[in-house]
Amino acid sequence: MAHEPVSLASALASFSELWSPRIVTAVNDYDVRIAKVEGEHVWHVHDHTDEFFLVLDGELHIDLREPAGERTVVLPKGSAFTVPRGTEHRPASPVRTAILLLEPTGTSTVGDRHDEVPAHVDATTGHALT
């Protein structure tokens, strides 16, 4: 990975696939990923790591299944949220949205446990930015 500045706008313009994150850079043992999203992802759980979301453009909803019940967190542009490890969640977006994620390198986009992965969701540990 080159040690040069990365324009997030240019990086986002370099691909069109939804729910298919690109690795922008790494920080210690973490990937900084960007993705374009729209519609629903899949209910999933990361057993050993939190998952950080930052909305760059658009609006992200994160459905959560917690001990107290289900709730939805709504993140407008510029908002950040961390899903705690072990929390079942499903990201979704009513409009085309750009997000930045911070996760340990090698973390699957569909977690350690998940529902059936629909065809529009890329089950990956992230793609190199081209």
Domain boundaries, the chain: 23-119
Architecture of domain 23-119 in this structure: Sandwich (2.60)
pLDDT in tens, the chain (130 residues): 568 899 999 999 999 999 999 999 999 999 999 999 999 999 999 999 999 999 999 999 999 999 999 999 999 999 999 999 999 999 999 999 999 999 999 998 988 888 888 888 888 889 888 8
pLDDT given at position 1: 59
Pick from 37, 45, 122, 53: nearest CA to 90: 45
pLDDT given at position 32: 97
- DSSP-derived letter for residue 13 is H
Phi, psi angle pair for 61, to nearest 5°: -110, 140
Query: Model-level pTM?
Result: 0.93
d(C-alpha 108, C-alpha 59), whole Å: 22
pLDDT given at position 125: 87
- Could you please report the per-residue DSSP string of 77-126? TT-EEEEPTT-EEEEEEEEEEEEEEEEETT--TT-SEESPPPTTS--SS-
pLDDT given at position 2: 61
Structure-derived torsion over alpha carbons of residues 46, 49, 54, 57, reported in degrees to the nearest 10:
-30
d(C-alpha 40, C-alpha 82), whole Å: 18
